[in-house]
Amino acid sequence: MEGRRVLQLLCLTFTLISTTRPSPPAGLTVSPSRSQFLQGDSVSLSCEEDGWTVWRKTSCRQRSSCEDWWGEPAGSSCRISDMFPLDSGVYWCESREGAAGSSINITVADTVVLQSPVLPVMEGQDVTLGCRTSAPSTLSASFFKDDVFIGTESTGHMTLRHVSRSAEGLYRCSFRGVGESPPSWISVSAPPTEEAPPTEGAPPTEGAPPTEGALPSNSTSLQVEFSVLRHLLVFCPYFISTLLMVSMYRGRAKEAKQAVSRATPSGAQAEQGLDDGVMMS
């Protein structure tokens, strides 16, 4: 019975630990923040979490890390100082345990590139596209979305005002007589859901201490969850070992009691034995 209770407590503990929210995978930061580069450009790639490394997979090589001589590693960062078209491929962050974060496609071209956001943009924001070439040119740049012409700009830059989900698609640009850029996909994400305003009283001003009973922020909530997980991992082994010791002690005491009860006859049995002895005598 005691062993069953200990087993149930073990199962409950592991269930609590396994259902605790895991840390999100480390994202990849690209600087300068774009997905297309001209030959000879430099780029810095950084993982958001320490202990993670930058990996890539190109068309001419299987997956490899920054430490495989194609970049200059520095902790969780990697720098490519002189890019070539062979550096085009998929880049991501990976932990020592093999967990991988979201990937980013990077393209290196030798003539014309499109400068566009490497990460999804939020609905309602302005997005600026740039057309860049390695050849000297004073021509106007033409821009296309899903192979449909959307305009020409003499400055080489086009701004999309207050983008919506319909702005998602493949974009490219070109210079007449020079060439065109590879296409790049632009994603548009929905804005974060705003929290409902308080129903009573005026909202607290910026920098003011939170009112009593206010809900914690996301970062505070994460800190609370990690604190609970840390206490579970620290105190559960001691709690479980104590229960096991108490269970073993009670089990041995119960076995000893049963052995004594079997070895010692009851009072009625002893009296009956005495009466039988008198009658026989």
Instruction: Output the pLDDT for position 203.
Output: 44
pTM of the model: 0.59
Instruction: Output the pLDDT for position 47.
Output: 94
Instruction: Output the pLDDT for position 240.
Output: 64
Closest CA to 23 of 135, 101, 131: 101
Closest CA to 53 of 34, 69, 32, 74: 74
Q: Report, as ranges of residue numbers, the positions in the chain whose pLDDT lies below 70.
A: 1-26, 194-281
Instruction: Output the pLDDT for position 222.
Output: 43
Distance CA 70, CA 55 (A): 10
Pairing of the two strands 104-109 and 43-47 = unpaired
Instruction: Output the pLDDT for position 17.
Output: 44
Residue 130 CA, chain-centre distance (Å), reads: 31
Instruction: Output the pLDDT for position 227.
Output: 54
Instruction: Output the pLDDT for position 261.
Output: 59
